[in-house]
Structure 1
Amino acid sequence: ITQHKHQHKMLQQLVYYLPQDTIFTRIKCLPTLNVLKRTFILYTGQQYKMKDLSQPFASGYKPSEVEQGWYPWWESRGFFRKHGASKKFVMVLPPPNITGHLHLGHALTCAVQDAIARWHQLQGDEVVWVPGCDHAGIATQAVVERYLWATQGVTKHQLGRERFVNEVWKWKEEKGTVILDQLKRLGASLDWDKFVFTMDKHMSEAVTAAFIQLYDSGLLYRKKSLVNWCCSLQSAISDIEVDHVYLTGPTELNIPGYEKPVTFGMMYDFAYRVNNSGVVKVTPGHSQEDFDVGQRHNLQQLTVFDEKGKLTDIVPEFKNLPRFAARQAVIEALTEMRLYHGSKPHPMMVPRCSRTHDIIEPLLKPQWFIRCSDMAAKAIDVVQKGELHIYPETYKKTWNEWLENDIDWCVSRQLWWGHQIPAYCVTSEDGEFWVAARSRDDAKSKVAEKEGISESSIVSVCQDEDVLDTWFSSALFPFAAFGWPRHTDCLEHLYPTTLLETGHDILFFWVARMVMLGLHLTQELPFKGVLLHGLLCDAQGHKMSKSRGNVIDPIDVIEGASLKVLKDRITSSGKNGTLSSEETSQALQKQTSNFPNGIPECGADALRFTLCSYNFKNKLLSVDVNSIEQNKFLGNKIWQTVRFLLASMEKVPNGIECASRVNITQRSADLSTMDKWIMSHLAQLVHNANQNFVTYDLHHITLGFVTFWQNHLCDTYLESIKPVLNEGSCEARSSALSTLWTCVDVGLHILSPFMPFLTEELYQRLPRYAKKCESIMQCDHPKTEEFMCWNDQELEESVNHLLLVAAAFRAIKATYNITHSRVHGSFVCLNSHLNTVLVENLEVVKKLGRIASLTAIDKNTSPPTSSSASTTCDSTIVYLHLKGVIDPKQELVRLRKKMSKVQKEETKITSIITAPGYIERSPAHIQDTHQRKLASLRAQLEQLLFIVQNLEKM
């Protein structure tokens, strides 16, 4: 460990929790490695042993028990890395910010990317999925400043730059460790040996190299320009970090540094000293429009505010007044001069800093800019030529619109946390020169050579104190992560990457810039495809935010959290400065309504499966915790299916021989109709999965799996074969078991990219007649061509008719409130082929229809007396024999009461829609609701009348 060049990364991995029965030898961490200021335990000796499955199969699915222990085993066995394959699949994880813990948006990215990565691994590809974290300059500095003020009562200026940056590094170590733990708890199959932090040494080298290359090629320049200035941060911020808040009228807003709220949404009228002069206000130093006017007319650029938001000595009578306090002073001065004409409400858009909620001021500052026009044109061209694919394609239009209207990119930020700009101000006897360089000495020699001056004439060399925009280093991520600008084996072998998956909201701010810089600096596209997902909202469609109290920590979904725990965390965030007092109050109020019963324990698998079940290509995705819990119940159904299979195999002689896909192929001639039916659906499941993984439509795969496992396998096939397994011949039982084992085995392989923990546990518990892979991760994904021989649409249609007949019997039983199975049925089928299918599968219809016996009768035979008929099945009439099963008199009383109730509802709706003026007053959607309700009630009355008339004849 001490010789490993990435000691810190190794520690972050080793800190990951391990089960209590781990067989490693424990030693204390060396002091030189104790980077998190606490004692670490390193695990040495043997490799991590596979989870002990010798205990009896639990009666129910418990995610916390199932998910424990598998990840460290996968990692120790190197299952996340597969080298030497002819085909590669390379992807980088969009590095999460170290501002705090991951939320469900990050979990969505992780779940989608991991499912795709695991599928490619099961295809036999060499998969490299690179993890990382982003230093997030502005966001991290802002949150650490608030934290230090809330916990220590100090500001960054009191600490000084060096001590403050050290505090940020401490924050990074703590939060970074938590983020890595969260990713592992989610089951992310990342290649941890390639972990990258955007402030790592090799990333700093890449940032310096990129900056200098851009400068030397004439694409980087320095000029004084208007920027989005946050007075609280005392830094420029990017457009994406500005929230534009629309105010309809007078609104009080809390502004950092002001004790009382400040009123916005007002228009102030005043007159100029000279009437009819034609003079208008022009402020080139504080408005982009006026700045453009000033450039055209060569106007003086006056700056009224300083960096702290106080008035400058340009207006000596108001000097040093905070900007919003100065507003009132100006009004008073205008009033004394009789030039103030009052104020009135006025709708307006207010720009606020997303980090501090301060009001953003346009401010003139010397900044570094990148010329983007040529690079933007190339980025447009590669998409138009089909060299870069964007999914979904609807974002191609957005891509073109953004890049066609590009403006030069301001890359400098007035912060302390980040990559200090590798540019130097070189002062000589001949003047002052700015140059991009690797060091002071390099800067001196470059200026001397360029300007033709002697190095001895240089008086001073000072590095720019500003840092680079976080998006600059992030834009280098897909190639710097592999060693660029050095020509490493990784860079040669793994770059360009295959796919970038990320949120559509950063298509321009990150994706486009990666493409521009990738093409310019490496002469290659950084990736071949871009897959964009939507933004997560809560169940009510509200955007997730801390102040709304609806942000969800994935670990809370995995482990469960009571309302008290959730509220305590919000309170703690308020105390440590992460949330303002206003945000804390709002969050506590809304959290009760959002999670009145807390968050139930669902497990990582259910969370992953749910997130992949949404059509994540939509712009907005509404996540409901109840949906996640439902997929935990799906996990339990899968668990119970495997338990049933294992128990059934123990009852059949040589049942282990059924545990092979070869076995079912050999038995194909002996399979029953239902065996072949479920195998046909299995073939479609495999085809659906492979087809939709290629197009990244994961929601089709999850829906197909649920339909197959719940509806086809459990609700239908399992129920149909229970009589066979209990009373059938040895051959029939073996055929049914071979079929069931194959469906379970293949189903688990289809499910494994979405639910890796559950499928690994069940895979290891499944008996196998043939040789078994060490892990389900090492198996081949089921191939479409392997199973399409079972696809039989004609058979499916026949069995579907059989299932309709069974459903008709259940429906009649429900109509007459019959809950037991001691009833007899019969049917008349006018289609000879379907009649044959029904006759050959009477036991199946009996079992699924929940009746005691079933007979086929001739179409010329009179219907059974005292029976109820259903004609819902095409070409088939079913009869349920009711004699001795129900009391017609009692049933008539019950049904007539029900009819009376339905009739009253029908009369009420009818009176509403026939009332005068209804059509004119009622919205279209209300009228539509009433019409559908009326149609439903009349259908119920018709059905009830039919049943009553039938009972009256008994």
Structure 2
Amino acid sequence: MAMEKTFDAGAAEARIYEKWEEAKAFAAGANAKPGAETFSIMIPPPNVTGVLHMGHAFNNTLQDILIRWKRMQGYDTLWQPGTDHAGIATQMVVERELARNQQPSRAELGREAFLEKVWEWKAQSGGTIINQLKRLGASCDWDRTAFTMSGAPGAPADEAGGNFHDAVIKVFVDMYEKGLIYRGKRLVNWDPHFETAISDLEVENIEVAGHMWHFKYPLADGVTYTYVEKDEDGNVVLEEERDYISIATTRPETMLGDGAVAVHPDDERYAPIVGKLCEIPVGPKEHRRLIPIITDEYPDPDFGSGAVKITGAHDFNDYQVAKRAGIPMYRLMDTKGAMRSDGAPYAEEAAKAQAHARGAAFTENEVDAINLVPDDLRGLDRFEARKRVVEQITAEGLAVMTIFFFKQKTAYEIEVSVPLVENKPIMQPFGDRSKVVIEPMLTDQWFVDTAKIVGPALDAVKNGTVKIMPESGEKTYYHWLENIEPWCISRQLWWGHQIPVWFDAEGNQYCAATEAEAQAKAGEGVALTRDPDVLDTWFSSGLWPIGTLGWPEQTEALEKYFPTSVLVTGQDILFFWVARMMMMQLAVVDQIPFHDVYLHGLVRDAKGKKMSKSTGNVIDPLELIEEYGADALRFTNAAMASMGGALKLDTQRIAGYRNFGTKLWNAARFAEMNQCVPSADFDPTSVRQTVNKWIIGETAKARIATDEALTGYRFNDAATGLYAYVWNVVCDWYVEFAKPLLNSEDEAIVAETRATMAWVIDQCLILLHPIMPFITEELWGAISQERATMLVHAPWPTYGTELVDADADREMNWVVGLIESIRSTRAEMHVPAGAKIPMVQLELDEAGKGAWARNAALILKLGRIEALSEAAEAPKGAVTIAVPGGTFCLPLADIIDVAEEKARLEKTLGKLAKEMGGLRGRLNNPKFVASAPEEVVEESRALLAEKEGEEAKLRAALARLAEIG
């Protein structure tokens, strides 16, 4: 049956994918040669709540290219799929569903009933992204789909994915017993909406309009000092007696939790009062708290007043200062971000704190119990409390004042003092899901003592056991791990792996895999309460490589596929996931989790801008698949995947690669119409025709280049190389070169060319299949129904340079070069496309003469040359063309209007000069480069480079015109 005229991706893709699944084409070990090496990849598990976005589409395309390539090579492959339970995201989705359906809330249901609702939702909607990955063509072993909560209490009996929960709990218990996990008080990102700690990755720092208030902290005990301000030359510009130290803050409500005021040790202005006490100017005056003035390297003497309030329980920088200085840290807010209303009466607690400030001993537990919020602020939302604090300080006259002078018509000045409040943009942290302002908060959490397990993870990269690409990723990896802090692994949620620790009435801890084991440790009759917190999803996903392969059981899959071969993931989770997998696997099983790590950047729009709903530039990969087909999107992803390069997605580029698929389809139809049928007996070394020898050699070069590119994870080189080979070499040159051979009266030549073309088209399909699996699989079946296997399992070629015939290669590349030069000259000189023109041979060596004689008909036809003549010198009005071993020329004086062409080119060059002048002026302006968005600057540079290239071509054309006269 004849092939369809076009490839209908919308109709074919689902059918093809179903055929692959029915054949279990993606199963671990499918198509493996006997005794084959293994090649395994772990999918970065998308959130179970997720839907396919461009980041997923890009990331999974690269993984699929590698796994399809290795599977065709006969490796024993595994692409392990699965999803992450996504604690906050899933809990949020289910709570919204309950509210939308007017069902009882999470709090009304209680923990156990709510978790039942989560499992119900997961069964109905949790597989969405898996089905969407299939539309992309992802060839994972879906029968092995893992889930980070499989096997957890309450999970349905038929929940797929093994028993990941047991692995997570075992690791926690083992690490706890080794002293690697502990419970402690540290500063964390606190989300007041979800009432939980969150990771840095779940925080979005956004620039917003903010305020900086300047306040006076009166010195205690009547202390005064001479404040001296000097200019850069050391001249005194201000000298006055002060009884206060001024600070600036963007969060006045946190002043109540100050533990000290810090100044730089080299700041001479404050040397007289270092070690003195100052008063926090908030609350009833008789109960105000005193805090010390200390020195630390953190304050910048040139920023603001140079004095910084230290609020260790509500600021990450202050927390480090407080730890170094050993000053107390006071948590002011409750879990909802409101000022605390618990604890003893304000006056009593303030008095206790003041005693601490004057040197009385205190314990950590005492500090935690202190509640220093005045009665009138208790229970207020933090932002409402901010307004009250500012109003109270200003009313008391302790706001730093700024003086304005106004000229009046009567020629005298009026001095007006107003509170110094700066309106300035500030970076504010928001929860990426809650969209509320994140509060740094000192809370009790569970931590991994990462300093004890980080060493092997660092060594594995430093000694080359694990390779991170691009190399810049290694520097980032070292920086993070060499400056690592304890890892907060607890979350105040219900959905997740509940921490396996129980407490008795005295607060003693009993860590065990089960409650029965904990009870046995505590003793009979001891009442126990389990810690309500769950583990951070990064903790469980940190065990992804071994957990998905069945550990702690020593399974066949674990033995075969671990350590895995390569991890393909985004550079933004190098620390959050990659480094933690390295630490965890080495700590748990003393093995690296993977050999190579390929890091890619964020997929942006065509102008390089980050995609966001607010900007309106989000591109939906499913819509792209609907419009252009999965293959076009996949090829685009591969083509833009340069190592460490910017990932700019342009829909015009996707449309172009769809056209590339059409070009391939048309070449296959041409082969079919010319009865080019694949033959298992075809021997590419047996061909005799120069053209056929040449194309076989070009195919061998393409195979070698593709393997080299994919081995080095240079996906863009593989894609662009195949594009050039298939479109230019095969579909353009070879199809044209083969036509005379296919029309030959010599049956042997016809038969050889048919067999060669069929083989070449097959090789195109094989080499392209990892990148464009759907159209290639469709063509594979359409070309021949006698295949031994589907293309997905076709053997990857191993032929190489032995197929390159040096003489045929030299001759046909000479022919191609000559034709391209003729076409280029015609285009530059604006020779009418349909016009046939003469060509003159000026000089030519014997090899060139032989090449011309054997290929004259092709050159004349494809170059649209009327006839070839010979001459010792170029006639007047001719443009010369140099080729290896000779020179030709094209007499064009009587074919084009030279004067008109010169005028056209000069006019175009003049216009270009103005455009380039404007671009250069913009780029040479330091203000533009410093202040314009990065993508605008880069776009200007790219445009200038494009214009400069265009200018070079036009000047070359002018130089050719000068030859004509």
Q: Deviations over 1:361-410 (max 9, x none)?
A: 12121111111112111101112222222233332222211111111111
Looking at structure 2, the residues matched to 856 and 742 of structure 1 have their Cα atoms a distance apart, in angstroms, of 38
Partner-residue secondary structure (3-state), 1:110: helix
Alignment partner of 2:136 out of 186, 194, 199: 186
Structure-to-structure mapping, 1:796-945, within 5 angstroms: 796-811=809-824, 813-814=826-827, 815=829, 817-820=831-834, 823-852=837-866, 854-855=867-868, 857=870, 859-860=871-872, 868-873=878-883, 875-879=885-889, 892=897, 895-904=898-907, 938-944=955-961
1:63 lines up with 2:39 in the alignment: no
Partner-residue secondary structure (3-state), 2:392: helix
**Residue of structure 1 in register with 2:639 after alignment:** 613
**Residue of structure 2 in register with 1:44 after alignment:** none
Q: Deviations over 1:154-205 (max 9, x none)?
A: 7543554344434433443344222111111111111122111111101111
Tell me the TM-score normalized by structure 2: 0.78
Higher mean C-alpha deviation, range 923-932 or range 834-843: 923-932
Structure-to-structure mapping, 1:544-583, within 5 angstroms: 544-559=611-626
1:382 lines up with 2:460 in the alignment: yes
Alignment partner of 2:68 out of 115, 118, 122: 118
Assess if the C-alpha contact under 8 Å between 1:100 and 1:175 holds in 2: no
Higher mean C-alpha deviation, range 198-207 or range 341-350: 341-350
Assess if the C-alpha contact under 8 Å between 2:456 and 2:583 holds in 1: yes
- Counterpart of 2:790, as a letter, is S
Looking at structure 2, the residues matched to 870 and 178 of structure 1 have their Cα atoms a distance apart, in angstroms, of 63
The offset of 1:302, in angstroms, is 2.3
- Counterpart of 2:652, as a letter, is N
Q: Deviations over 1:842-867 (max 9, x none)?
A: 11212221235x4453x54x768x98
CA 66–824 in structure 1, closer or farther in 2 if over 3 Å, else same: farther
Structure-to-structure mapping, 1:327-406, within 5 angstroms: 327-341=386-400, 342=419, 343-406=421-484
Looking at structure 1, the residues matched to 921 and 181 of structure 2 have their Cα atoms a distance apart, in angstroms, of 68
- Counterpart of 1:608, as a letter, is R
Structure-to-structure mapping, 1:356-505, within 5 angstroms: 356-427=434-505, 431-448=506-523, 455-456=524-525, 458=526, 460-505=527-572
Partner-residue secondary structure (3-state), 2:693: helix
**Residue of structure 2 in register with 1:777 after alignment:** 792
The offset of 1:432, in angstroms, is 2.4
Assess if the C-alpha contact under 8 Å between 2:822 and 2:881 holds in 1: no
The offset of 1:907, in angstroms, is 6.0
**Residue of structure 2 in register with 1:284 after alignment:** 312
Partner-residue secondary structure (3-state), 1:547: coil
Tell me the TM-score normalized by structure 1: 0.78
Partner-residue secondary structure (3-state), 2:498: coil
Q: Deviations over 1:639-662 (max 9, x none)?
A: 11111001101xxxxx65x63463
CA 378–729 in structure 1, closer or farther in 2 if over 3 Å, else same: same
CA 936–642 in structure 1, closer or farther in 2 if over 3 Å, else same: closer
Partner-residue secondary structure (3-state), 1:548: coil
Looking at structure 1, the residues matched to 595 and 92 of structure 2 have their Cα atoms a distance apart, in angstroms, of 35
The offset of 1:781, in angstroms, is 0.2
Q: Deviations over 1:614-658 (max 9, x none)?
A: 234315311112211111111111111111001101xxxxx65x6
Q: Deviations over 1:543-582 (max 9, x none)?
A: 22233333333221111xxxxxxxxxxxxxxxxxxxxxxx
Looking at structure 2, the residues matched to 325 and 913 of structure 1 have their Cα atoms a distance apart, in angstroms, of 55
Q: Deviations over 1:463-512 (max 9, x none)?
A: 11111101001011111111111233332333222222211211111111
**Residue of structure 1 in register with 2:197 after alignment:** 236
**Number of residue pairs the alignment of both structures matches:** 802
Alignment partner of 2:337 out of 303, 306, 309: 309
The offset of 1:292, in angstroms, is 4.2
1:203 lines up with 2:164 in the alignment: yes
Assess if the C-alpha contact under 8 Å between 1:483 and 1:490 holds in 2: yes
**Residue of structure 2 in register with 1:675 after alignment:** 692
**Residue of structure 2 in register with 1:518 after alignment:** 585
Structure-to-structure mapping, 1:100-179, within 5 angstroms: 100-146=50-96, 148-149=98-99, 152=102, 156-179=106-129
- Segments of 5+ residues of structure 1 without an aligned counterpart are 1-53, 252-263, 449-454, 560-600, 650-654, 950-954
- Counterpart of 1:622, as a letter, is K
Partner-residue secondary structure (3-state), 2:430: strand
The offset of 1:143, in angstroms, is 4.3
CA 156–919 in structure 1, closer or farther in 2 if over 3 Å, else same: closer
The offset of 1:413, in angstroms, is 0.6
The offset of 1:422, in angstroms, is 1.2
Q: Deviations over 1:300-327 (max 9, x none)?
A: 4322111111112332111111100111
CA 628–77 in structure 1, closer or farther in 2 if over 3 Å, else same: same
CA 350–153 in structure 1, closer or farther in 2 if over 3 Å, else same: farther
The offset of 1:803, in angstroms, is 2.3
Assess if the C-alpha contact under 8 Å between 1:534 and 1:617 holds in 2: no
The offset of 1:876, in angstroms, is 3.6
Superposed CA RMSD:
3.1
**Residue of structure 1 in register with 2:182 after alignment:** 221
Partner-residue secondary structure (3-state), 2:528: strand
The offset of 1:808, in angstroms, is 4.1
Q: Deviations over 1:93-150 (max 9, x none)?
A: 1110123311111111211111111111111111111110111112333344455556
Looking at structure 2, the residues matched to 824 and 930 of structure 1 have their Cα atoms a distance apart, in angstroms, of 33
Looking at structure 2, the residues matched to 271 and 801 of structure 1 have their Cα atoms a distance apart, in angstroms, of 85
**Residue of structure 2 in register with 1:88 after alignment:** 38
Looking at structure 2, the residues matched to 491 and 422 of structure 1 have their Cα atoms a distance apart, in angstroms, of 26
Alignment partner of 2:679 out of 659, 665, 668: 659
Looking at structure 1, the residues matched to 65 and 646 of structure 2 have their Cα atoms a distance apart, in angstroms, of 21
Assess if the C-alpha contact under 8 Å between 2:684 and 2:803 holds in 1: no
Looking at structure 1, the residues matched to 921 and 432 of structure 2 have their Cα atoms a distance apart, in angstroms, of 48
CA 296–65 in structure 1, closer or farther in 2 if over 3 Å, else same: closer
The offset of 1:80, in angstroms, is 1.3
Assess if the C-alpha contact under 8 Å between 1:101 and 1:553 holds in 2: no
Assess if the C-alpha contact under 8 Å between 1:812 and 1:868 holds in 2: no
Higher mean C-alpha deviation, range 288-297 or range 311-320: 288-297
Assess if the C-alpha contact under 8 Å between 1:824 and 1:851 holds in 2: yes
Assess if the C-alpha contact under 8 Å between 2:604 and 2:611 holds in 1: yes
CA 910–227 in structure 1, closer or farther in 2 if over 3 Å, else same: closer
Looking at structure 2, the residues matched to 364 and 919 of structure 1 have their Cα atoms a distance apart, in angstroms, of 49
Looking at structure 1, the residues matched to 821 and 165 of structure 2 have their Cα atoms a distance apart, in angstroms, of 71
1:75 lines up with 2:35 in the alignment: no
Structure-to-structure mapping, 1:236-255, within 5 angstroms: 236-247=197-208, 251=209
The offset of 1:933, in angstroms, is 6.9
